[in-house]
Amino acid sequence: MANYIVPVLSEYEWQKGVINALNDPPISPSNGDRYIIASSPTGVWIGHANEIATYDNNIWTYLHPFQGMIIYVQFINRLLQFTTIWEALSAIGKEQVNPIASGLTLTPSQFGETIAINSVNIETIYLPSVNALHIGAWYRFVKLGSGTVIIEAADLDTIADSGAGDTIYNNTPGETYATLTLLLVSESKWVITEGHGTWTTTD
């Protein structure tokens, strides 16, 4: 068993979630609040359209987005991706965002999809059985909520250093937007390629 702690850094594709997208800075922000600045900013946000603003020790800091950056917006309960503007992720390219319920077994037809999981309590997602023809396939997972997300491999398959048919999970309450991308690198092994949050394998 091992812990995989994937940090949130500005150059990563996935970013920690924001509260909302606004033009006007909130009147009484709390330390750590994050927002997407919309297209017509006012006040101290002027000149920072489309950037991500974080309130830190009584000042706003700004992160300039780059193409492909993905973020969860709490107020509208949606994932957005930045191209030249912020757009709903489900409308971009072939990548789909599927909110799913616990106990669902994914299928190869869903390879390349982003799976958003509403984790109020414990949610378990089952990876499909795979073979050599599937090498290079991937899934992205987004944890929405403060519960536990468990991703379980098929009987003969492993995730990172897990045992065959075992799991990787995130049960950290504060990581409400934890993400994980799994890539199939052999006929029976999934590896972690990106994401953020604390994920633990079982064996």
- The tens-digit pLDDT sequence of the chain (203 residues) is 556 555 444 444 556 788 999 999 999 999 999 999 999 999 999 999 999 999 999 999 999 998 878 787 888 767 788 888 888 765 433 344 455 555 688 999 888 888 888 787 888 999 999 998 898 888 888 888 788 999 999 999 999 989 999 999 999 887 877 889 898 989 999 999 888 889 999 98
CA neighbor of 12 nearest in space, from 177, 150, 188 = 177
Length of the chain: 203
Is 57 within the bounds of a domain?
A: yes
* CATH at residue 146: 2.60.120
Last residue of a domain, one of 61, 91, 121: 91
The answer to whether the CB of 116 falls within 8 A of the CB of 97 is: yes
Do 139 and 71 share a structural domain? no
Say how far apart CA 1 and CA 120 lie, in whole Å. Answer: 25
Do 129 and 60 share a structural domain? no
Is 14 within the bounds of a domain?
A: no
Which amino acid is residue 126, in one-letter code? Y
Do 125 and 73 share a structural domain? no
pLDDT score recorded for residue 11 = 41
Tally of structural domains, the chain: 2
- Kind and range of the H or E run holding 98: strand 97-100
Instruction: Give the range of the structural domain holding residue 44, as residue numbers without chain letter.
Output: 20-91
- The token duo for 61 is 């800091």
Last residue of a domain, one of 91, 115, 146: 91
pLDDT score recorded for residue 93 = 37
Which amino acid is residue 199, in one-letter code? W
